[in-house]
Amino acid sequence: MLDRLKQYIVEVCCVYALLSVAGAVINQIWGYETNNINVIVMFVLCLIGTFVLYLHKLFDRFSPLFMIIVQYLAACGLSALFIWIMSLFFGPVSAYNWFEFWRSFTIPYVILAALYYWRVFSEAKKQDKLIREIQDRSRESI
Amino acid sequence: MRLNLYEDKKNTDERVDIYYTNMRPVIKQLIDTVNSERPSLKGRPADEDEDDGEEILLDPKDIYYLDHIDRKLFAYTRNGVFRLMNTLASCEDMLWNYGFVRVSKSNLINIFKIKQLKPDLNMKVYASFDNGERICINRSYKKSFNEYLQRMRRMS
């Protein structure tokens, strides 16, 4: 349990560091500015997103496509809940900001899911080739 | 591989010499046979009662895959399904040299019987056999499956 927690924390740190750097680069290029609340929100979203993705072992029985969809809905729902709670303290969130939240969450998720999809197919192709090679070599060696 | 057989009625020291370039699975199988350690899998036809059916000696090369269902182990061959009295873990240890690798909690598959490895649209990867059946390769076993294939390639 402790090992899992340690691994989870390490993964959160990696994800947060990557997003921070990517955010800083985008802000620098486009001239955006951020504030402390945004930083905290981004960190909590990292915690939620990493936690939901971390549960992938629970979906071993199901297809990866099902897992991706369920994890997307869960992560999106929990993040929206968190933003709604934040809005109770820091003022309402406009419809445009909700749309922005959905878009900034969905686009990277879809890109990563597509990459995962491509990786599954390319790995299977490589393994199929490897099996063919092993079978051929075995036939030749007899 | 060339096979030379010499019959000598006066020979009192029977022996087998193996000249090999590298220790690959087929050489290990020969060694197992000479040492009488060749895995013997005895199975009864699955459609017969446990004690009634006649035990048949199964050659690992004839087995497509092993399936563990309801605490029972079954071997699937071209000629039918056989109930084995071994455990899946013992079969995994015994048969790794014969191309058998674990792909899920309840399945060991024979890579020499795989016709094609292909993912479905839902991203589950299946190993199809030439008898038309297919077995899903569980994501948790993907890494060990890949390592096994790499090891077999190095050895072959």
- List pLDDT tens digits, range A32-54: 888 888 888 889 988 998 888 88
Q: Is the pLDDT of residue B110 over 90?
A: yes
- Average pLDDT of the residues in B41-62: 77
Q: What's residue B126's pLDDT? A: 93
Q: How many domains does the structure of chain A reveal? A: 1
Q: Which chain B residue lies closest to A118 (C-alpha atoms)?
A: B123
Phi and psi torsions of B131, nearest 5°: -90, 5
- A134 within a domain of the structure (yes/no): no
- Average pLDDT of the residues in B53-79: 88
Residue A131, both tokens = 């099996």
Test B146 with A123 for CB contact under 8 angstroms: yes
Test A127 with B152 for CB contact under 8 angstroms: no
Q: Å from B86 to nearest chain A CA?
A: 25
Is the reported ipTM for this assembly greater than 0.90? no
Q: Which 51-110 residues of chain B touch chain A by CB within 8 A? A: 99
Q: Is the pLDDT of residue B39 over 80?
A: no
- A50 within a domain of the structure (yes/no): yes
Sign for the CA dihedral angle at A90, A96, A102, A106 comes to negative
- A29 within a domain of the structure (yes/no): yes
Q: How many domains does the structure of chain B reveal? A: 1
Q: What's residue B74's pLDDT? A: 93
Q: Which chain B residue lies closest to A116 (C-alpha atoms)?
A: B123
Q: What's residue B1's pLDDT? A: 79
- A118 within a domain of the structure (yes/no): no
- Nearest of B107, B147, B130 to residue A123 by alpha carbon: B147
Cα A121 from Cα A116, distance rounded (Å): 9
Which residues does chain B have within 8 Å of residue A127's beta carbon, measured at their own beta carbons? 117, 145-146, 149
Q: Is the pLDDT of residue B65 over 70?
A: yes
Test B156 with A137 for CB contact under 8 angstroms: yes
- B7 within a domain of the structure (yes/no): no
Q: What's residue A3's pLDDT? A: 84
Torsion, Cα B19 B24 B25 B29, to 10 degrees, reads 20
Q: What's residue B34's pLDDT? A: 79
Q: What's residue B141's pLDDT? A: 92
Closest by Cβ to B149, choosing from A117, A121, A131: A131
Summarize pLDDT for B136-151 with one digit per residue, the tens. Answer: 999 889 999 999 999 9
Say if B145 is an interface residue toward chain A (CB within 8 Å).
Answer: yes
- The pLDDT-based confidence of A141 (bands split at 50, 70, 90) is low
**For residue A92, what is the DSSP state?**
P
Q: What's residue B52's pLDDT? A: 62
How far is residue B131 from each of residues A39, B80, B86, B106, B115, measured CA to CA in Å?
Answer: 57, 11, 24, 20, 9
Cβ atoms A102, A109 nearer than 8 A: no
Phi and psi torsions of B22, nearest 5°: -150, 155
Q: What's residue A17's pLDDT? A: 93
- A127 within a domain of the structure (yes/no): no
**pLDDT averaged over every residue in chain A:** 87
- Average pLDDT of the residues in A83-106: 88
- Boundaries of domain holding A105: 2-112
Which residue in A69, A116, A120, A136 has the most chain B C-beta atoms within 10 A of its own C-beta, making it the best mutation to test that interface?
A120
- Average pLDDT of the residues in A114-137: 90
Which CATH number belongs to the domain containing residue B63 in this structure? 2.40.50.1020
Cα B94 from Cα A61, distance rounded (Å): 27
- The pLDDT-based confidence of B48 (bands split at 50, 70, 90) is low
Say if B153 is an interface residue toward chain A (CB within 8 Å).
Answer: yes
How many Å separate Cα B146 from the centre of its chain?
A: 17
Cα B67 from Cα B143, distance rounded (Å): 20
- B124 within a domain of the structure (yes/no): yes
Closest by Cβ to B118, choosing from A68, A124, A137: A124
- Boundaries of domain holding B138: 40-155
Cα B69 from Cα A78, distance rounded (Å): 38
Residues 6+ apart with CB under 8 A from A27: A33, A34
Test B122 with A133 for CB contact under 8 angstroms: no
